[in-house]
């Protein structure tokens, strides 16, 4: 689309927001944007509708169809309501649950949605205050709801907010419902939205419901005797200003841990995230205060959650006594290694157990599963796809854990999304078990690498904002797809997997075969003859193109870890220089 044509469409979209259906403040802001000589803000706010991606509806707060505000929230809620009425037409009553995180406007957006759902005749369960995302997922199943939403932008910067929609199994919405709901939302005019709620249809959920969730969270403990012996484990925990502030410490206490150390400055709930630039436990800067507290208190482990408490960050001491962040791949490794080995030790393996990982997550997880005769599944990025695997195997196979590289893990299927609350309980047990064995989590990782093979992973992204950036990202993917490199890091390219065409091509044999996935996705994967894996995909929730690197090696002696790790890092840097421009 030419710039002139695009601007005409944008201006047409914006003028619709000058009608009396919108409040005066909104109309004035739109007028100013239309009158400005610089059309960049106008274009970015009105060039497209926010759509459901891997993490639902997410965007910068402000006026416009491509922004988070009460009107886009209202249209999404009305469109979802219209879809639910058709999908569950045979039910006498449709029920939905609503939660929100600490972000600015999250409470207003959640109350707006509650009114609209109730005005559509639905039974609405609304939490009385901010709650972790996994508790919303749990509530949908526990209360027999057909859907649910949570207002959150996960770990995005403070100017963002978002809207995650869930189905009746407690998972985020997948195909075909996701696309169909988007179509319903597109049909909604602001005049169609039923704004005037019915308070009689709204039930408030409070601390009594929290107790039910906590009871389930502590049910994942495998070795209660270990927890009892190590109950005074020194655990530093930070919610990074978010919703984990209460339920994580309460769950750890319910599990039997008596020595949870807080970071008071970050216990302050705030959508401005005053102590960090980015409230993301993947970022070292976000973990600095917690690691400083760990040094002061000689702690055993540091754990953190992001603003909506679905992601878990973990820190441990290395063999030099320095506090380091365990990356998401390593966190998933620790979880699944512990679950599988301890289930086997306790005689809990019955033969129908399975685990799930995403396609960009370390292949070492698959190796652990294979060597222990545990079935594993690969799925797309996003826990809605892990939940879909669970749904497909409901009643015939037993899910025992699943995770992804971006600090997400789900220890049990009573939640069908990333669950940092339950994960914190289980990770505390793992740290207690390691200490019981005279080890740290760092030493435990080296044991895993020695037994199953070494891998090192790193993710890098390129940011391209706005409509222009979206076009650049699209062109980058087309270039990789049409002109893949012949070699990477000095090794010949052996296999290319294209999830947009669901085709796997072996460049050595020149054979092709289909990829077993239900739907397509704009993801490319390159596998080299020396075992390296590089995945490339546009982010579904942010203006980024992401590159995931994994290189393999052997670690025959734990004492050689540093040298093996250094060489792997050099290999990843070489791959980055070649691919990320």
Domain positions in the chain are 48-205, 213-452, 454-579
- Cα separation, 571 vs 554, in Å, equals 14
- Cα separation, 1 vs 143, in Å, equals 47
Assess if CATH 3.40.50.720 describes domain 48-205: no
Domains 213-452 and 454-579 share a fold: no
Burial class of residue 143 in the structure, from the number of CB atoms within 10 Å of its CB (0-12 exposed, 13-18 middle, 19+ buried): middle
Please enumerate in sequence order all residues whose Cβ is within 8 A of that of 516, keeping only pairs 6 or more positions apart, or say none.
none
Query: Active-site residue 19, yes or no?
Result: no
Q: Would you state the pLDDT for residue 470?
A: 85
Please enumerate in sequence order all residues whose Cβ is within 8 A of that of 207, keeping only pairs 6 or more positions apart, or say none.
none
Confidence of residue 207 (pLDDT cuts 50, 70, 90): very high
CB 354 within 8 A of CB 343: no
3-state helix, strand, coil in the chain (%, to 5): 45, 20, 35
Confidence of residue 185 (pLDDT cuts 50, 70, 90): confident
100-110 pLDDT, tens digit per residue, is 999 999 999 99
**At 208, which helix (H) or strand (E)?**
helix 207-217
Q: Catalytic pick from 154, 251, 440, 532?
A: 154
Longest dimension (CA), the chain: 72
Indicate the average pLDDT of the chain: 95
Homologous superfamily, domain 213-452 = Alpha-D-Glucose-1,6-Bisphosphate, subunit A, domain 3 (3.40.120.10)
Q: Would you state the pLDDT for residue 155?
A: 86
- Cα separation, 369 vs 356, in Å, equals 10
Residue 512 has pLDDT above 70, yes or no: yes
Q: Which CATH class is domain 454-579?
A: alpha beta
Residue 45 has pLDDT above 90, yes or no: yes
Q: What is the mean pLDDT of residues 410-427?
A: 98
């Amino acid at each position: 689309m030419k710039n002139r044509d695009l601007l005409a469409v944008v201006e047409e979209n914006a003028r619709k927001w000058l009608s009396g259906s919108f409040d005066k403040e909104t109309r004035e802001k739109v007028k100013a944007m239309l009158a400005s000589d610089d059309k960049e803000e106008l274009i970015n706010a009105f060039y497209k509708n926010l759509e459901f991606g891997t993490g639902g509806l997410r965007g910068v707060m402000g006026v416009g169809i491509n922004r988070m505000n009460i009107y886009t929230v209202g249209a999404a809620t009305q469109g979802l309501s219209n879809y639910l009425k058709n999908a569950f037409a045979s039910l006498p009553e449709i029920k939905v649950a609503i939660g929100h995180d600490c972000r600015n406007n999250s409470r207003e957006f959640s109350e707006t949605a509650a009114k609209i759902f109730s005005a559509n005749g639905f039974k609405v369960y609304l939490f009385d205050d901010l709650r972790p995302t996994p508790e919303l997922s749990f509530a949908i199943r526990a209360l027999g709801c057909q859907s649910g939403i949570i207002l959150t932008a996960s770990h995005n910067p403070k100017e963002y907010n978002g809207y995650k929609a869930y189905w009746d199994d407690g998972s985020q919405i997948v195909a075909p419902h996701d696309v169909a709901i988007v179509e319903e939302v597109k049909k909604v005019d602001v005049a169609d939205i039923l704004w005037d709620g019915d308070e009689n249809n709204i039930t408030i959920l409070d601390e009594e419901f929290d107790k039910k969730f906590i009871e389930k969270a502590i049910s994942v403990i495998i070795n209660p005797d270990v927890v009892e012996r190590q109950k005074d484990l020194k655990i530093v925990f930070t919610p990074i200003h978010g919703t984990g502030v209460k339920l994580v410490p309460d769950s750890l206490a319910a599990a039997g841990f008596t020595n949870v150390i807080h970071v008071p400055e970050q216990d302050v709930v705030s959508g401005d995230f005053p102590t960090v630039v980015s409230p993301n436990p993947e970022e070292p800067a976000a973990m600095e205060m917690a690691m400083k507290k760990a040094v002061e208190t000689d702690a055993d482990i540091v754990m953190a959650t992001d603003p909506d408490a679905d992601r878990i960050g973990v820190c441990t001491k290395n063999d030099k006594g320095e506090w380091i962040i365990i990356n998401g791949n390593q966190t998933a490794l620790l979880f699944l290694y512990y679950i599988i080995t301890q289930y086997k030790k306790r005689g809990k393996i019955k033969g129908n157990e399975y685990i799930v990982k995403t396609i960009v997550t370390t292949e070492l997880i698959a190796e652990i599963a294979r060597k222990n005769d545990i079935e594993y599944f690969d799925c797309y990025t996003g826990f809605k796809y892990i939940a879909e695997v669970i749904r497909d195997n409901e009643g015939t196979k037993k899910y025992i854990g699943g995770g992804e590289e971006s600090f997400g893990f789900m220890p049990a299927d009573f939640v069908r999304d990333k669950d940092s609350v339950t994960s914190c309980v289980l990770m505390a047990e793992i740290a207690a078990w390691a200490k019981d064995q005279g080890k740290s989590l760092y030493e435990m990782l080296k044991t895993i690498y020695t037994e199953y093979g070494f891998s090192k992973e790193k993710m890098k992204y390129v940011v391209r904002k706005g409509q222009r950036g979206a076009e650049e990202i699209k062109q980058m993917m087309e270039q990789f797809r049409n002109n893949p490199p012949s070699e990477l890091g000095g090794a010949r390219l052996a296999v290319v997997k294209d999830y947009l065409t669901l085709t796997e091509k072996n460049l050595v044999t020149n054979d092709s075969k289909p990829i077993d996935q239900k739907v397509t996705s704009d993801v490319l994967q390159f596998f080299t003859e020396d075992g390296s894996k590089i995945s490339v995909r546009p982010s579904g929730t942010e203006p980024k193109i992401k590159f995931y690197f994994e290189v393999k090696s052997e670690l025959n002696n734990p004492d050689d870890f540093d040298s093996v790790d250094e060489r792997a890092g050099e290999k990843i840097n070489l791959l980055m220089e070649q691919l990320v421009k």
